[in-house]
Structure 1
Amino acid sequence: MTPVPMRRTGRLRLGVRVAVAALLIAAGVSTAGCGAQGGSGGEKIALLLPDAKTARYETFDRPLFEKRIRQLGDYQVLYSNADQDAATQQQQAESALAAGAKVLVLDAVDSKAAASIVSAAHAQDVPVIAYDRLIAGGGLAYYVSFDGEKVGELQGAALVQALAGKKLRAGDGILMVNGSPTDSNSSEFAAGAHRAIDASGLQVLAEYSTPDWSPDKAQDWVAGQIAQFGDRIVGVYAANDGVAGGAVAAFKAADVSPVPPVTGQDAELSALQRIVAGDQYMTVYKAIKPQANRAAEVAVALIHGEKVTAPTTTDGVPTTLLEPVAVTVHDIMRTVVADGFWTVKDICTPAYVTACDAAGIR
């Protein structure tokens, strides 16, 4: 049993709180989801997510978190999305604090810059749960995410498997399209992927950290590598489905057919459709419901001053790390469909019906 660290470090001055309150509307903080009877009178929990480019946040994380909060009692969720801007997220956090949030559940745009949000929360004795991305500087009450290095290992191993048995020429190799340099998970994904790729002897032709996880920037970079290396590119490690989509678009724009194996992460609907169509080799499925539920449950426990337990710790922070799963075309039915993450109808729209039938997705 690991107690959640709580400490008092002072309070925000009244003038600052008033000024921050004025930012509430401008910063885009919304109030959603009062739950059933039996809670603590509508106390507020802030959910601060980093961007809208990654489809999972608006499609799954937010609604699942809000649903679990409603089930737990009479609470309000103050929701904000920073649209990949660290300064905006800072304002949103300050606005949530000024609005009376008792807990911050924070998925940081910039893992280092977010340390100032943690400090501001501590000034009001408000605990912070790091959601999906660890925040530098310590002082966190809890951390819930997936094992980032395991994600990278699954991606790298899948890419190695996709290329196994193929006769590669001297000079052939892969591209590595990593995640945002401001996301603490990106280095973990890359480390895990390198472990699998380097051990295989595959050559890495070039490697790139994608600013803001931007599919457009990933596409531009991959297009430049295609111009330089041409058919020497035999595969692409892409850190998530967004940048994978950018990589695939670059190959299609260059009339490369078939597209070499491309990895991904998050099991986005568009990625699953690319996998069915043969344009993306795999993705990593992360069951977001347990992650959102755990964050919600810990948040409510912290409001009531309860101790929370965790399977492990990260830098002294109580931590839950969930297990990711690799998904190729052969795994879609037993993973994302079986879990109700997506339905066959979602995936097999008219443009993909033939490919779905051929893959046994029906």
Structure 2
Amino acid sequence: MRSRTCHVVAALVAGLMTMSLAACGRGDERVTDSFSVGLLLPSRAVPRWERSDKPLIEKRLKELCPHCAMEYANAEDDATMQRQQIMSMITKGVRVLILGAADTRALRSSVQEAHDAGVPVVAYDRLAEGPIAGYVSFDGAQVGRLQGEALLKAMGDKASRGNVVMMNGDPTSANAAWFRRGALSVITGKVNIARSYDIVGWSTQSAHANMAAAVAALGPDRIGGVLAANDAIAAGVISALKSAHVGKLPPVTGQDADLDAVRRIIKGEQYMTVYKPFRMEAGAVASMAVALGRGEDLRDIATTTTNSPTAQHIPSVLLTPRAVTVGNIKQTLVKDGMYTIDQICTRQLRPACDKAGFGR
């Protein structure tokens, strides 16, 4: 009888131990999947960061890790502020940082501090210097090539005789240099680059001022095309051309497919933009962040590697951009769900939309 009782007790103890271990396992899973991810974006001046990237990253993080939390901060083009934001997030205990750097060089020491604190940093859209754990962006050289090819096509036979003004991005951005190299690889020797400006902070106002200076120097009728690095810069360029009473606007490039830029394309004021499917970029960076938070390897996510001035073989995802003109807005931006026709075609734009073949 005693032996049987002992066996029963032993079985109960074993069962309780199994239940306890299982409960601990479940608890460990909950702990593993309930960490914080810090998202640091660089600017409010460029609409995409707040309107597209932030909500898309937050949504995908929740899908991949329902119990994870997201800490968010925007640097407003201030690298000193972003350094403080990084330190604040490390202090709060975030497990991973997603960094869209306000200044890729100036943030190097902060990336190192995060690394030393055991917080991996995923560079988003811009490759920050320092010990970066992963990198997600679009092929910047291809962005520039698409802009250059579109500009040559729009200028047509006049390309060899036309003056081109280059409105480059922020000189502190590695991406701006990447875009510029890509564009130059296409247009060098085929057009006369009459003026070239670096636009600090990708500012619409600075672009306006510099374009006004170019018009004053070259004359309003002697500008054959403008290679604007993004849509915010394109907005400043076009406003300056209008202020100078330029009769027929020259072709102007852009990037980011901002809604206002798409409307300018419909109106015939801006020739093209470069569409970078932000949903894919946001999805890739969220996947990297969750994998790092769980202590997983990035090799199943990264499709290539990238070198920076301070790090080699960074696991990377480099996505493919697409050129958008009035002829393929429906096949790109509308088809992908970035905008609806009703969002693009305001009442004032309805005649232009009808002319462009935008049926409801």
| 1:247 matched to 2:244 | no
In structure 1, the residue corresponding to 2:177 is in which secondary structure? helix
| 1:190 matched to 2:183 | no
Residue 167 of structure 1 deviates from its aligned partner by 7.6
> Within 2, Cα distance between the matches of 1:131 and 1:82?
14
| 1:61 matched to 2:58 | no
**Structure 1 residues 39 and 219: CA distance shift in structure 2, 3 A:** farther
More helix by share: 2
| 1:160 matched to 2:152 | yes
Q: Which runs of 5+ in 2 are unaligned?
A: 1-28, 308-312
Identity over aligned pairs, percent:
45
**Structure 1 residues 202 and 70: CA distance shift in structure 2, 3 A:** same
> Within 1, Cα distance between the matches of 2:63 and 2:155?
47
| Contact persistence 1:282–1:326 (CA under 8 A) | yes
| Corresponding residue of 1:207 | 196
> Within 1, Cα distance between the matches of 2:272 and 2:159?
21
Counterpart code for 2:335: A
| Contact persistence 1:40–1:75 (CA under 8 A) | no
Counterpart code for 1:335: T
| Contact persistence 2:208–2:236 (CA under 8 A) | yes
Q: 1:77 aligns with which of 61, 70, 80?
A: 70
> Within 2, Cα distance between the matches of 1:195 and 1:174?
15
| Contact persistence 1:39–1:75 (CA under 8 A) | no
| Contact persistence 1:40–1:74 (CA under 8 A) | no
| Corresponding residue of 1:93 | 86
> Within 2, Cα distance between the matches of 1:361 and 1:262?
22
Higher radius of gyration, 1 or 2? 2
**Structure 1 residues 338 and 127: CA distance shift in structure 2, 3 A:** same
In structure 2, the residue corresponding to 1:360 is in which secondary structure? coil
Give me the TM-score of the superposition, normalised by structure 2. Answer: 0.87
Counterpart code for 1:79: Y
Residue 107 of structure 1 deviates from its aligned partner by 0.5
| Corresponding residue of 1:119 | 112
When the two chains are superposed, the root-mean-square deviation of aligned CA atoms in Å is 1.3
Residue 69 of structure 1 deviates from its aligned partner by 0.9
| Contact persistence 1:39–1:74 (CA under 8 A) | no
Residue 117 of structure 1 deviates from its aligned partner by 1.5
> Within 2, Cα distance between the matches of 1:271 and 1:251?
16
| 1:327 matched to 2:316 | no
> Within 2, Cα distance between the matches of 1:99 and 1:341?
34
Deviation digits for residues 51-87 of structure 1 (CA, Å, limit 9, x no counterpart): 0111111111000000011112211100000000000
| 1:336 matched to 2:328 | no
Counterpart code for 1:359: A
> Within 1, Cα distance between the matches of 2:264 and 2:71?
35
> Within 2, Cα distance between the matches of 1:38 and 1:323?
36
Residue 168 of structure 1 deviates from its aligned partner by 6.2
| Corresponding residue of 2:95 | 102
In structure 2, the residue corresponding to 1:53 is in which secondary structure? coil
Aligned residues: 322
| Contact persistence 2:235–2:261 (CA under 8 A) | yes
Residue 123 of structure 1 deviates from its aligned partner by 1.9
Structure-to-structure mapping, 1:205-354, within 5 angstroms = 205-230=194-219, 231-309=221-299, 310-315=302-307, 316-354=313-351
Deviation digits for residues 10-57 of structure 1 (CA, Å, limit 9, x no counterpart): xxxxxxxxxxxxxxxxxxxxxxxxxxx967353110000000111111
In structure 2, the residue corresponding to 1:161 is in which secondary structure? helix
Segments of 4+ in structure 1 off by > 4 A?
none
Structure-to-structure mapping, 1:26-45, within 5 angstroms = 40=32, 42-45=34-37
Residue 136 of structure 1 deviates from its aligned partner by 2.0
> Within 2, Cα distance between the matches of 1:41 and 1:300?
9
Counterpart code for 1:295: V
| Contact persistence 2:33–2:294 (CA under 8 A) | no
In structure 1, the residue corresponding to 2:227 is in which secondary structure? strand
**Structure 1 residues 246 and 167: CA distance shift in structure 2, 3 A:** closer
Counterpart code for 1:338: K
| Contact persistence 1:148–1:189 (CA under 8 A) | yes
Counterpart code for 1:104: L
In structure 2, the residue corresponding to 1:350 is in which secondary structure? coil
Give me the TM-score of the superposition, normalised by structure 1. Answer: 0.87
**Structure 1 residues 359 and 38: CA distance shift in structure 2, 3 A:** farther
> Within 2, Cα distance between the matches of 1:270 and 1:327?
14
Counterpart code for 2:198: S
In structure 2, the residue corresponding to 1:302 is in which secondary structure? helix
**Structure 1 residues 64 and 39: CA distance shift in structure 2, 3 A:** farther
Deviation digits for residues 334-361 of structure 1 (CA, Å, limit 9, x no counterpart): 0000000011011101111110110012
> Within 2, Cα distance between the matches of 1:268 and 1:311?
28
